[in-house]
Chains A and B, each alone.
Chain A
C-alpha cells in the first residue's frame, strides 16, 4: 500500500526525522517498506519554463524548435508534442537532469540537424501519469525558473509498504501514523469532526434496517443533500494520484480519501435511486444475478450479504456498489454508507465472485467496528465542503449488539519466558498505550488490558508480547551464543535417500528434478493419475504416476539442444489413486518415493584408447546390479524377465522381494518414445524406494581373507541358441561341488562355423577351499564331471 508522508504529517509531527530513519524503523517494526519514492530527489532538477518562441523544425514536420526561458537562460529546445504553444508555462528539464528515476541522464542532442538543449516534459516523462499525449501545460501564474518541487507541490515522500494480513489497521494513513507514533514515542492527533447540519432531519429522509445482524453488526449512514458533482480540488486529486488512485468526482474521491485515511470503506448511494429511501441489509437465500457499477453482471452465490433498498439489491455488501444506485453527474442527494461487515461473509462472496476490491480487501481482514460513524461524518463534512451540499441533521447508526473490547491479561514473566530477556515495565506500558491499548488494571506481576477494536489480530497474551517486541525492536533481543541440545535419540529420515543419491552420482549419473505436475496425456502413460482441482494450466493438471514420463520429457529437451548422451537419475514422489471416487482419506491413494535410472545415447565416446559403445539393456542391467551391490541388496532380489512388449517397455526385467515388486525397467517402448519425439533408444529402471527401504539388510560381518590359493578353470560349449545364460549358470552352480565358488560368463558369440541356431558360451570357474590348498587332481576331477553334466543336460558340445 502507498503511504504519503505529507498525509501522515496531518496526524503526527515527523519533522526533523530523516526519511531513511522512518523507512528503517517502519521496516524494523513489521511494516516493511519495499520502495521509497522521494519526490524532492526525483524532481530536484526540473524547473518551470516559459515558451518564448516556436518555429517549425526545418527537417521534420512533426517537430517544433522552441526557445525556452528557464529563469536564467534562453535555450533552444526541440519538442515533438502537438500541444506546445508560445507563452505556455511548461516543465523544463535542462541538460544533466536525471529522467525517469535514474533511468537516463539528459544530454545535448542533435535532432534532424538541429541542436536541442533540454526537454519539455509530459506527465509520463515525470511519471505523474501514463499521459503521453502531449506536454504538461502549467498554471500561467507560475514563475519561470522555480523548481517544480515547490511550484507543483512535488515534495512528498511516498512509501510502498507491505502490510501483512494480520494488520488491517495499518491499511490506512492513520493506522501507519499510529505505529510511527509508537515507534518514535510522539503524540498522534486524529482531527475532530466539525459538522454543520443545514438540511432536514435524517430520520425523515432515510432509514436503515439490518436483517442479517450476524454478518452486518453495524451500519452507520449520513445524508448530504443538494450536492454539486464536479471534479475534486487540486489538493485532493493530487493526494489520491500520489497513492496511485485515479480521481473521479468530488463524492467518489472523498469516499476513497476517507478510506485511505481511516481504513473504513465507504459507499455513496444516489438517494433518488433508493426505493423507499430505505436500506435493508440481508443475505441471499439462493443464487442470484446482480449488475455492479462496472456494468458487469455477477452471479451471487447463496448466502451473499446484500445492501438492498425497499425492493431490490443496490450493492454487494463490502465489495462493490450496483449500477442502479451509483453516484452520477446528475446526483443531488447522497447517502453515505459506513458499515462493519463480518470478515468471513465478505471473503466468501469475494472469493466466489473472483472479485477483490480495496473495500473487500479491508473488510475480509477486519475493519474497526467502532469507527464507522466517525468515518461517515468525516466524509459528510468533506463532501459538503467540496460540493456545497447540505448535511442532514443527525445520523443513522444501527448497532444492535455493540462489540466489546477484548480484555487480555499480560504476565511480565511470560514476556521473559518467550523472548529470553526482560523489557522494563514502563516501556511496556508506554508501547501498549501508544498502540491504543487501555490499562484496566495494573498489578505487580501482570497487567489487564483493553484492546482497541481496530486490532482484531490481538486476541491473546502472546499477541501482545509480539506487539511489545516489534516496537521495542527485535534488534534489542539478545542473540545468545551458547545453546543446550537435548540428548534424545536423533532421527534421520533422509539418510537412506541421501546415500542413494551419493551412490547414483558416483555411478556417473546426473540428478534431475522434474516437475511432478503434468499434462493429461503425459500423466496417462502409466498408472492411475490424480487430477488437480484448480490447475494453473492444462500442462500441469495432473500428478505424475511414475518418474519415467517426466524423465522422457527431459531427455527430449536435452536431445533438442544437442545433448544426446544422457545418464540421469531422479528421486521423487509419484502419486496413484486407488479409488474411482473422490479421495476421502490417505488410504485412497498412494504416494511413493521412487528412484529412476535412465540412460540413452553413447555409454562411451570413441577415443584414441577405446571404441565407442552405445547404451543398451545390458549396460542398464550392469548399472542396476552395481547399484544394488552398493546398497548391499545384490543377493536378495529375484529377477524375472519379460519379452512381451507389454507396458512401457519392449522388453524388461522386474526385481522383487518376497513376491513384492521393488523395481521394473528395460528398453522403453518405441511408441512411447515416439510420443515424446525421441528417436534414439532409451533404457531405464524405476525402483519403489518405499519397498526397497523395507528389505532387511544383514548386518555386515567381517569375513576372514582367503589364505589358500584359488584354482581357475575355463570351458566353452556350443549350445542351442535358445539356451538361457541364467539357466546354465544356475545348473553349473548346482552341479558343481562345494569347492566351486564362482562361475562367470566371459565370452559369447554366434557364427556360421559353429552352426546355425547355435551359440557359444564360455565360462570362467573358480575353485577353492577356505581351510586348505586344493590339489590340481581333485579340481580336474570335479571339472570333468561338470563338463559331462552340462553336455548332457543342455545338448551342448564342449569346444576344443
Chain B
C-alpha cells in the first residue's frame, strides 16, 4: 500500500536526518529523498497504481510528505549553516563599536524643559518676550515706582533712563495681559540680567520661569495647590513645603515657597544654612496696581503669579557649587548632562 510506504519513508528520513551536522551528509540525504530521482519523487510515480477514487486522498498525503521533508531538511540546513559562520573562534567580539558623535542640550535647557512640560500639563501656555526692555514694562507697570527702594532689590543694567536689560521675566506678564483678556494662564521662561558682582553665587545674568493665572475666581489657595503639585512632580513626592510671607511689588499678598533641604532632609546643613529649608520660588496674588496698568478690572479678576530661578535649581539638584560654570561652556561640563 502506497500509504504505508509514505509513512515508512518519512520515518526513515527522520532517522537519517537526526543528528546530522555537516553539509556533506546533508547533501547525501537530499539526493536520497528530494532529488529528481529520489525516494519522494519515486512515490509520485507510483500514484498511477492507486485506484481512481483514492487518488485525491493519497495525492494529498504525498504532497504533505514532500512538504514535511523539505521543511525539515531546510531547517536542519540553516541550523548547520549558522553554526558554521560562528565557528570562527578568533572573531573578536570585544572590539569597541564605532563611535557616534553625541550632543546634548545645556543642563539649564533640560531643567527648563522639565519645568515647562509640567506646567504645560497643567494647562499653561508658554510666552516669551525681549531681553532689552523698557523701564515701563520692567518696573513702572509692575508697581515699582520711580525713587522706590524696591528697585534696589533688583540691581539693573541700564542702556539709558528709558531702556534696560530686564531684571525679571515679569515684563512678559505685562505684554501678555496687554494682548489678551482673561482668562490668562501662561508661563514665561527667559533670560534676565542683574547688575551684581560676579561670584560663585551670583552672575550678571540668569534664567527664570514665571507663571501667571488671571481669571474671575483665582485664589491664594489655588496658587498654593498648583505650586505644591509642581514641587511634588519636580522635586519628589516626599518633600515637605512651607509658604512664607515676603514682598514683591507686583504681588499682594506675596510669599516665598521653601521645601525641605534635599541634602539634610531638614536637619540643617551647609546647603540650607542650618535652616533645614531651601527657598525655591517667589509667588503671590497679582497686585491690583498691575491690573490697572494693563486695563484689567481688579474687582472682577484676581490672579496669581510666581517665579523661580533655573540656575538655582541646578545648584540645588546637581550640587553645582559655582554658578559661573554654567556659562563657561567647558565641554567637560556640557558632556555631564
Contacts and interface: CB of A to CB of B under 8 A. Distances in A.
B111 to A, nearest CB: 12
Interface stretch (A75-83, A203-211, A507-515): A507-515
A530 B193 CA distance: 15
A554 B102 CA distance: 19
A197 interface: no
A773 interface: no
A165 B102 CA distance: 49
Contacts of A512: 106, 329, 334
Interface string B118-158: 00101111111011101000000000000111101100011
B329 A554 contact: yes
Interface in A687-701: none
A693 to B, nearest CB: 12
A510 B327 CA distance: 13
A536 interface: yes
B105 A505 contact: yes
Interface string A467-505: 001100011011111110110101111110010011011
A629 interface: no
Nearest to A417: B302
A512 B331 CA distance: 9
B122 A483 contact: yes
B220 A419 contact: yes
A529 B278 CA distance: 40
Interface residues of B, number: 86
Interface in B96-125: 96, 98-106, 108-109, 113, 116, 120, 122-125
B74 to A, nearest CB: 29
Interface in B255-311: 255, 273, 285, 287-288, 302
Interface in B182-230: 183, 185-186, 189, 191, 193, 195-198, 204-205, 215, 217, 219-222, 224-226, 228
Contacts of B131: 516, 573, 591
Contact of A420 (B108, B165, B183, B219): B219
Contacts of B196: 536
B103 A567 contact: yes
A167 B247 CA distance: 9
B72 interface: no
B246 to A, nearest CB: 6
Contacts of B98: 607, 609-610
A510 B331 contact: yes
Nearest to B183: A486
Contact of B222 (A460, A483, A511): A483
Given A466-B253, A483-B225, A557-B329, A28 B245 contact: yes
B95 interface: yes
A532 B157 contact: yes
A517 B204 contact: yes
Interface string A656-681: 00000000000000000000000000
A795 interface: no
A492 B150 contact: no
A421 B205 contact: no
Contacts of A508: 100-103
Contacts of B191: 516, 572-573
B57 to A, nearest CB: 42
A30 B245 contact: yes
B237 interface: no
Contacts of B159: 530-533, 583
Contacts of A548: none
A183 to B, nearest CB: 11
B95 to A, nearest CB: 7
Given A483-B122, A516-B205, A506 B220 contact: no
A568 interface: yes
Contacts of A491: 125-127, 186
A365 interface: yes
Given A501-B105, A591-B131, A477 B331 contact: no
Contacts of B134: 586
B52 to A, nearest CB: 46
B273 A515 contact: no
Given A419-B253, A474-B242, A483-B122, 18 more contacts: A28-B245, A466-B252, A469-B253, A470-B253, A474-B244, A475-B243, A479-B221, A486-B215, A494-B128, A505-B104, A510-B103, A511-B104, A511-B105, A514-B327, A534-B157, A568-B334, A604-B101, A607-B96
6 contacts: A417-B217, A479-B224, A491-B127, A511-B109, A517-B204, A561-B330
Interface of B: 95-96, 98-106, 108-109, 113, 116, 120, 122-128, 130-132, 134, 147-150, 152-153, 157-160, 162-163, 165, 183, 185-186, 189, 191, 193, 195-198, 204-205, 215, 217, 219-222, 224-226, 228, 242-247, 252-255, 273, 285, 287-288, 302, 326-332, 334-335
> What are the 6 A-B residue pairs with the smallest beta carbon separation, nearest first?
A420-B219, A420-B221, A30-B245, A164-B247, A485-B123, A508-B101
